[in-house]
Amino acid sequence: MSVDSKQPALTMWSEDEIAFRDAVRSFAEAEIKPHVNHMDEKAEMNPEIVSKLFEMGLMGIESPERFGGAGSSMTMACIAIEELGRIDGSVSVLCDVQNTLVTNAIIKWGSPGLQEKYLPRLAREWVGAYCLSESSSGSDAFALKCRAEKKDGKWILNGNKLWITNGKEASFFIVFANIDTSKGYKGITAFIVEKGFKGFTVGKKEDKLGIRASSTCELIFENCEVPEENVLGEIGKGYKIAIETLNEGRIGIGAQMVGITQGAYDATLAYIKSREQFGKAIGQFQGVQFQLAQMRIELEASRLMVYNAARLKDAGQDFIEAAAMAKYYSSKVAEKVTSMSIDLFGGNGFTKEYPVEKFWRDAKIGQIYEGTSNMQLQTIAKIEMDRA
């Protein structure tokens, strides 16, 4: 293990991890950065960037090599998500959902037939989406109204999903629906839906504060026909898939938040070295230096928490509390540091000519999706209270 001298970080990285990080960073700087402002303004993802994510092998990082993936780890996925987030939170979350929610769910819960059919496509060409939330089921994730019933050898889905990330770009959807409401959450089952299935349509795209190029859409199921073999995992065990997959996904969101924080910090450090007031760079004033130091400390603490959770997951150890802590803390730090960045930029920071206002807008969602901050606190408190 060695310490990377190019990036100020206390974290210990292997040579392979450093090389991978540098490759993703170069890719993000060259291929994504020139399009960030336009994508944010138009609230649209550039399809060429999506294609290049596949070409770079960033859409199937943990997928086995026999299915066209990299056969790598959660840690490597987080490195990619962080580096993309350092340039653009929208591209970062597209990659995050693909790896930590969609692909991981198929690897863990998919039958051999489903893995053979879908994992190669997800690694090479198909964007995926994870479809749990509804108008009545946000934090109360199991208050689902989307229904599924068996008819003529097929599953028929009816209902709506809201706030679905990657909804516009996706060709593959993991959809949670209840097959027997009398059983409560034990009736929830996960289904794989393709974009072309009869009875399925993508509805309106939300107009959001941040991560604007990331599509967040309504999905509509009107007698949507799903093949019997497209049940993911066991019938009635969808709640288990949802819980366990989201636990992993929270690590990815933590990595996204670290990336956004790093991007804002990098921009701020460069600015305070060049911006002059009272005859010298504002970075020479102790009051500014102390703010910078605080930003750096909290950034590093959030990074260490995220990669600790990732390495626990990779080692097959219990990571649930670590993931909740990492997601909670990194999202709080992202909002705080990006706000401080705007302060240090002064009036310039409040304009779209400079990047920090976008980092701030992109950071806010971290405390909301894949489990609000209050839900993370509830998870942590429950684990602590249950300790012997």
Catalytic residue positions, numbered: 370
Q: Which residues contact 73 (CB under 8 A, 6 or more apart)?
A: 61, 62, 310, 314
Q: Which residues contact 188 (CB under 8 A, 6 or more apart)?
A: 142, 144, 176, 177, 178, 179, 236, 238, 239, 242
User: What distance in Å separates the CA atoms of residue 193 and residue 148, rounded to the nearest whole number?
Assistant: 12
With CA atoms as reference, report the closest residue to 215 among 226, 206, 225.
Answer: 206
Q: Which residues contact 263 (CB under 8 A, 6 or more apart)?
A: 85, 86, 87, 355, 359
Which SS3 state, helix, strand or coil, does residue 190 take? strand
Distance of CA 56 to the CA centre of its chain: 18
CA within 13 Å, CB half, 67: 25
Cite the DSSP H helix spans in the chain: 15-27, 36-42, 47-55, 74-87, 89-96, 104-109, 112-124, 238-274, 286-314, 320-345, 356-363, 373-385
